Structure 1
Amino acid sequence: MLYLTGIIITFFLVVILASKRNKSEADKILAIWLFCTGFHLFLYYLHYQKDFASFPFLLGFELPMPLLQGPFLYLYTSALTNQNLYKKYNLLHFLPFLIAVLFLMPFFTLPFSEKLKVFENEGKGYENLILVLYGFILLSGITYALLSLRKLSKHQKNISDQFSSSEKINLRWLQYLILGSSIIWCVVIFFEDKYIFSFVVFYLMFIGYFGIKQVGIFTNQTIAENLVLNISSNESIEIENAAEKIKYEKSGLSNVKLQSIHQKLTQIMKDEKLYKNPDLTLAELSQKLNIHPNILSQVINSAEGKNFYDYINSQRVEEFKKLILLPENEKYTLLSVAFECGFNSKTAFNRNFKKVTGLSPSEYLK
């Protein structure tokens, strides 16, 4: 009953994703991933029920299926964080699965009765092939889990380089997805199939519950929400495609030019107080200065010794220190003044204020 529940939930999530309007690349990858996972769970259910006679041609097809999990996790992570820039090579990630299928073809072409005997005798005659396949499955799963974590770490760094506020950028969905997949691979190493697939079912239930709660995963997401969830896809592609050009420009950016841009930056922040926009991004600020975002990022890093996130929030802290001393602001709470300076949460305000001054706001006022 547990496995059947997992199958129903999985295909229900696939239907939700398939019916979603304006599906992103990540949505499509997740839908195919869930479909393959549901199909794999169905194959195990037939094995568990000893009902392969109903689908004799499917017997044994579950053996290479785990080789799909790692690539799908990696590609979904890449797409969701807008780092999937070499799409034409995506299918190469599934080459190990195809190779495994080819090696298993002699088994697949056997009559059903003979295949059933092999299963009943725990793979007799195919022991070495199954052992090698198991090794490659573990290697694939662990490698792709690590690669996905690396992608997520890179994206987290990009957030600090691109955004002035991270409170609305919710990466928990992806963190839980990668963590859950990693735990499953640990379960694969130490436990037998019935425990592995039981854990997979609970994992799928969690994906359904948390994914539906998470804005934009199984629901249609507004443009504004999409902008704060991820770095703009077009912007990421532009930056990545121009990487070599920008690298050259950075190396050729003279100190005089750097100081000139920094002076313009300082002046525009003083005159227009752009940091008061709680959702200010590096791209928006670079447009104001009419320079490439990577150049502006280099200027901030070199002249201020900070990333974009820390630079903007230090500006907000300095503005707060000025405003809080004005007599007309005595009637307002600290948080009200903080919001006026561009902070969008109490947590962000307290964290950044202490980071800049070494004191909490109340300690500073005393």
Structure 2
Amino acid sequence: MDLLIDFVLIGGIFATLLILFLLIKSEQKALPQKLLVIFFTTLCCFLLNSYAENHNIAILFVLTFLLSFCIEVLLGPLIYLYIKSLFEDNKSLLKKNWLHFIPLVLHTIFLTIPMLIYIFKEEYPFSYFEYLNENSDYVVAALMLYLLFYLLISLKLFHKYRNAMQLNYSSIDESNFRWVKKMLIGAIIISCIELFIDLYEIFVTELQWQTANITLISVIIWIAYLGYYGINQTKVLLPDFLIKKEPLANSSKEKTNVPSSLTPADKKVLETRLENILRIDKPYLDEDLTLGKLAKMVDTTDKKLSGFLNQEMKTTFYDLINTYRVEAVKNKLGATEYENLTLLGIAYECGFKSKTSFNRIFKRETGLSPSEYKKTL
């Protein structure tokens, strides 16, 4: 069993180092990437610390102890900040969110450092530490609840921003989001497993086998899975929309309230202008079309246009543009001059950015897959 744990541990360490290598060698040095470097460095220290503890490697154990012992209070706020950094302006993000890391500082002062002293001197450095050590199961459970809380609010925040993207972008590559979502869900599952074990041992009975190995193996499987996606989808570690992102100008209020400056006459003018622009200029053929670009073309603001689309046309920018793209594909499928193009080639001609999004949106609009629709012509 020990040999198997060693094998899995070493594999996890190499997988983590590989992900770190991919992140560090990237030309992009955005804040989300830097946060991921800290994230995977922490996980690497956790694995190295476990290996050092199993093999009594004192130097390695001490070097990796700080990040490993603080992992619950560090990863939660770190992941939360990472999600915010994907979608918000990075310039003042750290200044606005530094309070989230106060528990980490307190944990380091009152738990991590005293624990190191206790390990070396084999005596309690402070009177309160003896009580905490005797009730370590409760402490671990509390820390896991803290981590789980941050993971859940991070997932909620991720879905909020993900939905907001549809108000601003006409093309959204799902692979940009899939990796982040899997990272969050994987972390939540592992936290729930660890919390369940802790609560079981507190309220039922102490298990007679090494429960730490369950968490360890779960973390390694999770890292390997994230590494696989990172290697096979190189854009995953730094999504495209980070490199050329526009601020998400639409809040939930902007989505539901039409700006008061739009009179009935203004709405009619805007509707006519929008229809003419879409019909004549066909901006939807631009795969990188954004709400801001279209708003400039119809001579209005992105907030007014978004409010008009939501309240008057009962749609979103994302759905409107992709509806026009589907119609463009249908028209080209029936035209002889496009017979030499594949379905995917026609999709790209009409503004779609990926095969996955094309197939999904086309089926949603028509009820048929592109190939099924073509057979009906």
> Scaled by the length of structure 2, what TM-score is found?
0.76
AA in 1 matched with 2:110: F
More displaced 10-residue stretch of structure 1: 301-310 or 151-160: 151-160
State the alpha-carbon separation in 1 of the partners of residues 350 and 146 from structure 2: 48
In the alignment, which of 252, 256, 264 is matched to residue 273 of structure 2? Answer: 264
Deviation string 1:17-72 (CA, Å, 9 cap, x unpaired) is: 23332311111001111112212222222222244487569778844332212122
Pairing 1:287-302 to 2, within 5 Å after superposition? 287-302=296-311
The aligned residue for residue 95 of structure 1 is 102
State the alpha-carbon separation in 2 of the partners of residues 65 and 276 from structure 1: 47
Q: What is the CA-CA distance between 1:153 and the residue it aligns to? A: 0.9
Q: What is the CA-CA distance between 1:172 and the residue it aligns to? A: 1.6
The aligned residue for residue 198 of structure 1 is 217
Q: What is the CA-CA distance between 1:177 and the residue it aligns to? A: 0.9
Q: What is the CA-CA distance between 1:107 and the residue it aligns to? A: 4.3
How many residues get paired? Answer: 350
The answer to whether the 8 A contact 2:362-2:368 is kept is yes
The aligned residue for residue 280 of structure 1 is 289
Percent identity for Structure 1 against Structure 2: 27
AA in 1 matched with 2:274: L
AA in 1 matched with 2:48: F
The aligned residue for residue 49 of structure 1 is 55
The aligned residue for residue 28 of structure 1 is 34
Structure 1's 334 and 306: CA in aligned 2 closer, same or farther, altered over 3 A?
Answer: farther
More displaced 10-residue stretch of structure 1: 45-54 or 152-161: 45-54
More displaced 10-residue stretch of structure 1: 127-136 or 73-82: 127-136
The answer to whether the 8 A contact 2:168-2:290 is kept is yes
State the alpha-carbon separation in 1 of the partners of residues 67 and 79 from structure 2: 21
**Structure 1 portions without partners, runs of 5+:** none
Deviation string 1:331-362 (CA, Å, 9 cap, x unpaired) is: 56893666554445666556545544556773
Whether 1:314 and 2:323 are equivalent positions in the alignment is: yes
Pairing 1:324-343 to 2, within 5 Å after superposition? 328=336, 335=343, 340-343=349-352
The answer to whether the 8 A contact 1:324-1:334 is kept is no
State the alpha-carbon separation in 1 of the partners of residues 235 and 351 from structure 2: 26
The answer to whether the 8 A contact 1:262-1:300 is kept is no
The answer to whether the 8 A contact 1:11-1:38 is kept is yes
The answer to whether the 8 A contact 1:3-1:201 is kept is yes
AA in 1 matched with 2:28: N
State the alpha-carbon separation in 2 of the partners of residues 216 and 347 from structure 1: 16
Q: What is the CA-CA distance between 1:7 and the residue it aligns to? A: 2.9
More displaced 10-residue stretch of structure 1: 14-23 or 34-43: 14-23
Whether 1:112 and 2:113 are equivalent positions in the alignment is: no
State the alpha-carbon separation in 1 of the partners of residues 310 and 289 from structure 2: 17
Whether 1:163 and 2:182 are equivalent positions in the alignment is: no
Whether 1:304 and 2:313 are equivalent positions in the alignment is: yes
Structure 1's 172 and 49: CA in aligned 2 closer, same or farther, altered over 3 A?
Answer: same
